[in-house]
Structure 1
Amino acid sequence: MIEHITHYYNSVPFKSLSALSKSEALKKMEELCDDTPFFERFKEPHQYWESRLEAETWLREKFIEKGGTPQAGYPFYSVLGTSDWIENYSLSAGLEVNKIQIPLSIFHEGDISFTLPDSMVSFWIGRDKPKEYYHPAYHGKVFTRSEVKRMVTADLLHALESMHPQGTIPYVEAQIWNHKIAENYYLNGSARR
């Protein structure tokens, strides 16, 4: 089992569009928008913003139903283990990407949730159930730390790419709902050893 998550970031870790007002978020998306797989999602900033808020509301509610105790209104996003796709694409595109690896063991069960893949994609597939991608065991579901530890295998990780639409990044997303744990881990230097 993978025992850590990785938070990828450009210049400053643990930042989220969700922490901004709508006008600030729209402005930021306009600044970031380009044709890369990372930022092409911002080409329709109003639509992205509404979809993001809808997915985050769903994510938080489903996590609470499973006993999660989110300390924040929105999560910090990470991936379970690492993402070869993110790292390889960043290198090939000449993008600066930094990462912080955080052990799962520092989180309580109620601090962190997971989706397969990205939560917005899982929410959409779970809602619309497109025949070619919908897997009822994974899509439209939010998983706890103990569930993901039991469920994620090497075979499932290898199958992720074929389970999702072209253009979606194949990983298990981790959502950190207790920001202080992640920030303290980074500030105390544990992430930079």
Structure 2
Amino acid sequence: MNTIPEVVTHNYDPEGVFLSNLCDLPLAEAEQILQRIRDAGKRPIKANYLGRRLKTEAWLINERRQLLGQTRRNRPIYFFLGDFADGQDLSRPCSMVMPLAEFPSDVLTFTYPDSMASLPIATHDDHRPERQPYHGQVFTLLQIKRVVQDFGMPGERWRTDHLRRYDRFIEVQVWDERPILEFLSNAGIAASCPARGQTAPTGR
């Protein structure tokens, strides 16, 4: 597929803070949350995850400044491009799917694949065989449309092509929560966790 999907998905933990960012927390508190996820067996998380996450976000923030300038949020809210409300991530079983068109283009950036894979693929020698022109780059909405025109959406190629095994998603970084809250307010129940019968709050 060489056109981008019309929706984006935010997956989240119903026991956490909706539309939050782990890196906004003090280091000790962030590590406690990660340990809780490890202890629950919901997702394997390496010991150096938080350090890598902070490094990745520093890169995203710097690139966002160059692409968009100042934004309402210093750290992003993460989405996937497309409908990923499948509940497969047990650490984030709840989902909010909303139209991409609800966001002004000046509050969005994108990485192909997710940012924590894109940066090391572009910068570590051991990932040289997998490296593609889009790795290690942060894109605007217009730019990611051109990238998808040239390279297609990730799709299922990662399952059969070893060199594309990390290219599973296009990540969306949202730098302003107001379009999300406005969408929730206008749409009613838009964020849900059917297995738990929960919906996301419409405010913070």
* TM norm. shorter chain > 0.5: yes
Q: Is the 8 A contact 1:123 1:140 kept in 2?
A: yes
Shift of 1:127: 1.4
Shift of 1:149: 2.2
2:176 corresponds in structure 1 to: 178
Shift of 1:14: 1.3
Structure of greater Rg: 2
Shift of 1:176: 0.6
Which range moves more in the overlay, 124-133 or 18-27?
124-133
TM-score for the superposition, normalised by structure 1: 0.80
Which range moves more in the overlay, 115-124 or 176-185?
176-185
Unmatched runs of 5 consecutive residues or more in structure 2: 192-204
Q: For 2:93, which of 94, 97, 104 is the aligned residue?
A: 97
1:87 corresponds in structure 2 to: 86
SS of alignment partner, residue 139 of structure 1: coil
In the TM superposition, what are the counterparts of 1:37-52 in structure 2 within 5 Å?
39-41=43-45, 43-44=46-47, 47-52=48-53
| Paired AA for residue 97 in structure 1 | P
1:7 corresponds in structure 2 to: 10
* Cα distance per residue 1:117-141 (max 9 Å; x no partner): 1101111111114222111x21000
Q: Is the 8 A contact 1:68 1:111 kept in 2?
A: no
1:189 corresponds in structure 2 to: 187
1:157 corresponds in structure 2 to: 154
SS of alignment partner, residue 39 of structure 1: coil
Shift of 1:156: 3.4
Q: Is the 8 A contact 2:134 2:147 kept in 1?
A: no
Q: Is the 8 A contact 2:7 2:81 kept in 1?
A: yes
Task: Give the whole-Å Cα distance in 1 for the aligned partners of 2:157 and 2:20.
Answer: 26
Name the structure with the higher helix share.
Answer: 1
Task: Give the whole-Å Cα distance in 2 for the aligned partners of 1:139 and 1:123.
Answer: 7
* Cα 1:88/1:10, change in 2 over 3 Å: closer
| Paired AA for residue 175 in structure 2 | W
* Cα 1:96/1:107, change in 2 over 3 Å: closer
Task: Give the whole-Å Cα distance in 2 for the aligned partners of 1:192 and 1:88.
Answer: 15
Q: Is the 8 A contact 1:101 1:191 kept in 2?
A: no
* Cα distance per residue 1:88-112 (max 9 Å; x no partner): 734xx7x772211122222222201
* Cα 1:101/1:115, change in 2 over 3 Å: same
Aligned-residue RMSD, C-alpha = 2.7
Q: Is the 8 A contact 1:18 1:25 kept in 2?
A: yes
SS of alignment partner, residue 88 of structure 2: helix
Unmatched runs of 5 consecutive residues or more in structure 1: none
2:68 corresponds in structure 1 to: 67
* Cα distance per residue 1:36-81 (max 9 Å; x no partner): 6x6212x30xx21111111101011112212354321211111001
SS of alignment partner, residue 8 of structure 1: strand
Task: Give the whole-Å Cα distance in 2 for the aligned partners of 1:139 and 1:73.
Answer: 23
TM-score for the superposition, normalised by structure 2: 0.76
Shift of 1:191: 5.6
Q: Is the 8 A contact 2:121 2:128 kept in 1?
A: no
| Paired AA for residue 81 in structure 1 | G
* Cα distance per residue 1:136-164 (max 9 Å; x no partner): x2100001111122332584323652444
